Structure 1
Amino acid sequence: MLLANLSLTNVTANQQYQGVLERVLFSTLTTLPCCVFLFINGIMLFTLRSKALFCETSRYILLYNLLFADTVQMALSQLLYIIATSRITLTYPVCGFLTMLANLTTVVSPLTLVVMSLERYVAVCYPLRHATIITITNTGVAIIAIWAIGSLNILTRVLLLLEFPFEALDSLQMKDFCSDIAMFVGSMSDDYDKAFTCVLFISASVAITCSYIGVIVAARSASTDKASAHKALNTLLLHLVQLGLSLSSTIYNPLLTALARVLTRIVFVRIQNAFYVCIFIFPRCLSSLIYGIRDQSIRPVLIYHLCCRLKYSVIQPRLNFHPRL
């Protein structure tokens, strides 16, 4: 899931490594967009807590939960990336804490998308019961359940790690860079991670797809608000795209492992930098950008905060301005 290291697989010792200048260049090219996206996500999170409308509407509360998980995951990913490019090795406990926290947020994102899709399904198919089904209390319970499932996954992974004989190691200091692959110290951990990932994304895909089909069927009904149904279809399609981008991160490991066998290390690291930005950094800011632009309620407030709280009228031409005489 989360990969932010520069040596997922061991390559032969005689292969070429990046020089200091190239490492600084690649680190800058990846850290700069990450900082920009973290800033945008931070402003979006602040925006969703700046008005009572956002704090009292279920879909905005779910959006906040999604953005929070993506922002934490992106920050941890970049932290591990910087540690790896600096060629710093961590101890197993520290690396385990960082990777487990990252895996927790990785699970939260697709599950939140599922709940957001079900909320849109209820809004279109059961508009009269939407207010009684999708309440603030029920939304809070759903968010607690999402984090509980993610925490249960982490607890299971920790229990699997306890089977590894760490006492046989000379030191708890890792010999390789920190990543979730480095924490697969047993075959059971690897098998469990693959099984859980498959179940998670298959279940999420089925739930969102069924919601999409349900809204399509409801849209053909004469009693359904066509505009609302069309907007819900676009939102559900966006959720499928977001889920697909999250799923793409799961093929990051196998893809890089295959490339490492046929490429020299220097070429492999350059390709990995590009994949890191495209697969990890960009998708994590997609939600804030799309929702911030699409939603008529969020857009003016987001622009206001992005422009450092300058008045929104300063950005647009003052067409109705009349100077005092």
Structure 2
Amino acid sequence: MSNVSYSYSNSTVGLQYQTVLERAILSCVCTVPACVFLFINGTMLFTLRSKPVFRDTCRYVLLYNLLLADTTQLVLTQVLFLLAICRVRLTYPVCGTLTTLANLTAGISPLTLVVMSLERYVAVCYPLRHAMIVTIRNTALAIIASWAVSSLNNATRGLFLLQFSLESLGTSLMNDYCYDIAWFPDSLRETYDKAYTVFLSVTAGLAVISSYTGVVLAARSASTDKVSALKARKTLLLHLVQLGLSLMFFYVIIIILPRCLTSLIYGVRDQTIRPVLLYHLCGRRKLSVEPGPG
């Protein structure tokens, strides 16, 4: 996605003018929170595979997919960021592979957030049909679809490479740091990226806002579980914030922070995940886990 490319490129523009001390400080400022969030995300991923209640519940399967994509994307962007700070130049194929994988995983987050928002909408507005609509099979199909859409986007971007001589780029070192615009300088591709990002932003935003509106209207019904509706409203609002952040630009706040919000949203607020996550983080005592309300 273009937001990953532009946010990363903006963060590396001034690197050539920085001293060794400035680069070291910048590395620490970005790497320390990234490592903390990677530890939390890694623990969360392990937690979601540690109990049958997590492996067999659709919302937690979606959560695992979102966390996996976010964690992978955070690792890739942090590696690229450190390579740029250390002034390491890569070959065009290596840089292209890393940036393509970063764009692929970045595209999964907004798509999965949309699916998770729709799942909460169905749970609140159609509770009697939720188990029939939101099945493990349908969840798997939704996950496959999100990866397919993001892969198709990257495959489409790859078509713009046909105008370049790939043989001459095969073993050549890049003249600049490795980021998407540096290895893939094409105005048509940039226009496509902007169009895709706008389309995805509008579509995903409308889906989450519509889900939130539906939950708010359903909460006024006497037959609706008020507690469940309130939790769903708060979760959808947090998803909307997370979606907005993931489609914006600054590296530390916009690239790193949204990748940990999923763990914070569910790891702290979800009554089923919280005790198991704390157990794995602290290792102090064994806890029994029973399914809790979302």
TM over 0.5: yes
CA 1:118–1:177: 2 relative to 1, 3 Å: same
Distance 1:55 1:305 in 2: 17
* Structure-to-structure mapping, 1:208-223, within 5 angstroms: 208-223=208-223
Partner residue in 1 for 2:275: 300
- In structure 2, give the amino acid aligned to 1:301: V
Equivalent position SS for 1:162: helix
Residues in 2 aligned to 1:16 and 1:157: alpha-carbon distance in whole angstroms? 29
Specify the code of the residue in structure 2 equivalent to 1:310.
R
Aligned residue in 2 for 1:114: 114
C-alpha separation in 1, matches of 2:237 and 2:10: 34
Q: Which amino acid aligns with 2:41?
A: N
* 1:288 maps to 2:275: no
CA–CA separation in structure 1 for the residues paired with 2:148 and 2:69: 14
The question of whether the paired residues in 1 share the 8 Å contact of 2:72 and 2:105 is answered with yes
Question: Quick check: which has more Rg, 1 or 2?
Answer: 1
Deviation at 1:286, TM superposition (A): 1.4
For the 8 Å contact 2:89–2:177, the answer to whether it is kept is yes
Amino acid at match of 2:252: V
Pair 247,221 (structure 1): closer, same or farther in 2 beyond 3 Å: same
Amino acid at match of 1:225: D
Q: CA deviation at 1:287?
A: 1.2
| 1:310 maps to 2:284 | yes
Matched, 1:185 2:185: yes
Aligned to 1:267: none
The aligned runs of 1:17-56 (5 Å cut-off) are 17-56=17-56
Q: Secondary structure at the match of 1:108?
A: helix
Shift in Å at residue 233 of structure 1? 0.9
4+ aligned runs moved over 4 Å, structure 1: 5-9, 166-171
* Alignment-derived partner of residue 233 in structure 2: 233
Distance 1:170 1:299 in 2: 48
Asked if the contact 1:90/1:174 (under 8 Å) is kept, the reply is yes
Question: Which whole-Å CA distance do the structure 2 matches of 1:231 and 1:169 have between them?
Answer: 52
Q: SS of the counterpart of 1:74? A: helix
Classify the secondary structure of the residue corresponding to 1:181.
Answer: helix
Q: Is the 8 A contact 1:95 1:179 kept in 2?
A: yes
What pairs with 1:140-179 in structure 2 (closer than 5 Å)? 140-166=140-166, 172-179=172-179
- Contact preservation (8 Å) 2:9, 2:181: no
* Greater mean alpha carbon deviation, residues 167-176 or residues 285-294: 167-176
**Structure number with higher helix proportion:** 2
Provide closer, same or farther for how the CA distance between residues 312 and 5 of structure 1 changes in structure 2, counting only shifts above 3 A.
farther
Partner residue in 1 for 2:94: 94
1:249-272 CA deviation, whole Å, 9 max, x = no partner? xxx3xxxxxxxxxxxxxxxxxxxx
Distance 2:169 2:104 in 1: 27
User: Per-residue CA shift, 1:46-90, capped at 9, x if unaligned?
Assistant: 000000000000000101111111101110011001100110111
RMSD of equivalent CA atoms: 2.0
Structure 1-normalised TM-score? 0.82
Residue pair 2:38, 2:71 contacting (<8 A) in 1 also: yes
Q: Percent of aligned positions with the same letter in both sequences? A: 63
Q: In the alignment, residue 298 of structure 1 is paired with which amino acid?
A: I
Cα distance in 1 for residues equivalent to 2:247 and 2:139? 25
Letter in 2 for 1:285: C
Residue in 2 that maps onto 1:82: 82
Query: Structure 2 counterpart of 1:305, which letter?
Result: H
Report the CA distance between 1:150 and its aligned residue.
0.6
Gaps of 5+ in 2: 288-294
One-letter code of the match for 2:285?
Answer: K
Distance 1:172 1:47, change over 3 A: same
Please state if 1:206 is matched with 2:206: yes
How far apart, in 1, do the equivalents of 2:170 and 2:150 lie?
32
Distance 1:297 1:169, change over 3 A: closer
Structure-2 separation of matches of 1:49 and 1:168: 45
